[in-house]
């Protein structure tokens, strides 16, 4: 995949994100276009598989796939309500994993989420490391202090 396409897809994915009460989400019908699906019914198959994966992992499907309606324009100025979903980043990840890997956009999304997951893991490790360093230092200090206390007690008993 060309570097230019990767940059474009990454930018588009992040630009399509919304935020509500501190929760980042995407709309499924917009994600459908980003992931290269022309037909909603085909994309809905990937969503259904992703929901199954979500349920299998023990996550609450309703926390990641929220049913909403979207109004779309129709010919002659009419509008129509169509079903849509608000999707968390995790839901987008599951959809990418359950999508058609022959689609360049799906292959990108699978790679994108693998990289993002690793970045998050590294970040969490770095955040936790100072805590563990302090804990390790505290343990070392406690063992030294304990040795000094034991040594002091022995010395006092011998005197």
Contact 40, 32 (CB under 8 A): yes
Q: Is the pLDDT of residue 127 over 90?
A: no
pLDDT-derived band at 113 (thresholds 50, 70, 90) equals: confident
- pTM for this model (two decimals): 0.70
pLDDT at 155: 47
Contact 100, 45 (CB under 8 A): no
Show the tokens assigned to 23. 């929760």
- Convert the pLDDT of each residue in 28-83 to its tens digit: 999 999 899 999 999 999 999 999 999 999 999 999 999 999 888 888 889 999 99
Show the tokens assigned to 135. 């804990």
């Amino acid at each position: 995949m060309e570097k230019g396409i990767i940059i474009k897809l990454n930018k588009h994915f992040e630009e399509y994100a919304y935020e509500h009460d501190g929760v980042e989400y995407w709309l499924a019908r917009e994600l459908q276009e980003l992931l290269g699906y022309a037909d909603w019914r085909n994309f809905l198959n990937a969503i259904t598989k992703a929901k199954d994966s979500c349920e299998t992992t023990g996550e609450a499907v309703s926390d990641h796939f929220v049913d909403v309606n979207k109004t779309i324009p129709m010919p002659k100025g009419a509008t129509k309500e169509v079903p849509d979903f608000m999707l968390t980043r995790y839901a987008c990840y599951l959809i990418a994993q359950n999508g058609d890997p022959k689609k360049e956009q799906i292959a990108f999304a699978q790679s994108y989420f693998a990289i993002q997951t690793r970045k998050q893991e590294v970040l969490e490790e770095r955040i936790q490391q100072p805590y563990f360093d302090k804990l390790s230092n505290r343990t070392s200090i406690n063992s030294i202090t304990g040795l000094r206390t034991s040594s002091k007690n022995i010395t006092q008993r011998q005197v």
